[in-house]
């Protein structure tokens, strides 16, 4: 029995080590940048964040290719990127930046995957802001080889809930999520209801077909790691569409 316990503990340790190693492993991809007036990405894109400066992501945001975007489930996730294997374009020392997934980089099957069709499936590609790109590579570069890995999202303040919808349905945009950054489940609760599951509408917009106007609202957010965080009475009874309310944060 003692030998069996030792064997089981060893297997658990081995599996845990493999999981940790996989999470920290650098993966290969490519990156390019899109030009905006202030060298940043200001559009919200397919994740629904609207003005991403207001959503706190700013220049450190990125559009992801089909494989990485994963139908929007990756929205809000954080990636560390560094330029590699290109003496001419990569900055010396291969400095890295941490980006938040805020948009979808659509495929262009009219172009080859090596020239213009960077986001064609199954390519793994990041479309960065010019300012962030310039922190890892020369601006003159068209596209560069990079390595990336998922990292913990460091956020200031709590998770933010921006209300929208109508008298017939309730919709909330969830931003500034720490830890995984990715949200896989949301529930809402008023004093007159139990916890009501919300469905992903698009990006990080979640909705339920219930009129919750006039009730203080609590939200339960589940991250991709499986951790759940409840923020009670985040929105007061007189909450308004278009207003943003701040709850607790994953630690």
Considering only 33-47, 117-131, 201-215, which range has the smallest mean pLDDT?
Answer: 33-47
C-alpha 229/C-alpha 220 separation (Å) is 6
Is residue 116 over pLDDT 70? yes
User: Under DSSP, is residue 74 helix (H, G, I), strand (E, B) or coil?
Assistant: coil
Question: For 59-67, what is the mean pLDDT?
Answer: 92
Domain with CATH 2.60.40.760 in the chain: 159-247
Taking only the tens place, the pLDDT of each residue in 70-87 is: 989 999 999 999 999 999
pLDDT of residue 92: 95
Residue 19, token pair as written in the block: 């999981």
pLDDT higher than 60, residue 196: yes
Residue 59's pLDDT is what? Answer: 86
pTM for this predicted structure: 0.84
Residues of the chain with CATH 2.40.40.10: 27-151
Q: Are 207 and 169 in contact (CB under 8 A)?
A: yes
pLDDT band with cut points at 50, 70 and 90 for residue 44:
low
How buried is residue 57: exposed, middle or buried, by Cβ count under 10 Å (0-12/13-18/19+)?
A: buried
Of the pLDDT bands very low, low, confident and very high (cuts 50, 70, 90), residue 36 is low
* CATH number attached to the domain at 27-151: 2.40.40.10
- What pLDDT is attached to residue 9? 45
Which CATH architecture fits 159-247?
Answer: Sandwich (2.60)
């Amino acid at each position: 029995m003692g030998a069996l316990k030792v064997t089981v503990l060893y297997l658990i340790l081995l599996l845990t080590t493999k999981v940790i190693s996989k999470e920290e492993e650098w993966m290969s991809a490519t990156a390019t940048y899109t030009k905006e007036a202030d060298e940043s990405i200001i559009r919200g894109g397919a994740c629904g964040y609207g003005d991403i400066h207001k959503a706190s992501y700013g220049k450190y945001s990125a559009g992801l290719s089909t494989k990485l975007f994963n139908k929007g489930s990756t929205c809000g996730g954080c990636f560390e990127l560094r330029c590699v294997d290109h003496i001419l374009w990569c900055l010396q020392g291969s400095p890295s930046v941490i980006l938040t997934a805020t948009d979808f980089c659509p495929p262009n099957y009219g172009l080859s995957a090596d020239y213009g069709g960077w986001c064609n499936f199954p390519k793994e590609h990041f479309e960065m802001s010019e300012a962030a790109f310039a922190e890892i590579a020369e601006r003159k570069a068209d596209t560069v080889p990079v390595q990336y890995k998922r990292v913990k999202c460091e956020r200031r303040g709590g998770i933010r809930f921006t209300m929208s919808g109508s008298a017939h349905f309730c919709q909330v945009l969830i931003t500034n999520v720490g830890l995984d950054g990715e949200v896989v489940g949301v529930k809402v609760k008023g004093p007159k209801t139990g916890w009501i599951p919300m469905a992903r509408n698009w990006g990080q917009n979640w909705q339920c077909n219930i009129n919750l106007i006039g009730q203080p609202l609590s939200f339960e957010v589940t991250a991709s790691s499986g951790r759940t965080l409840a923020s009670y009475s985040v929105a007061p009874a007189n909450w308004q569409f278009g207003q943003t309310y701040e709850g607790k944060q994953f630690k």
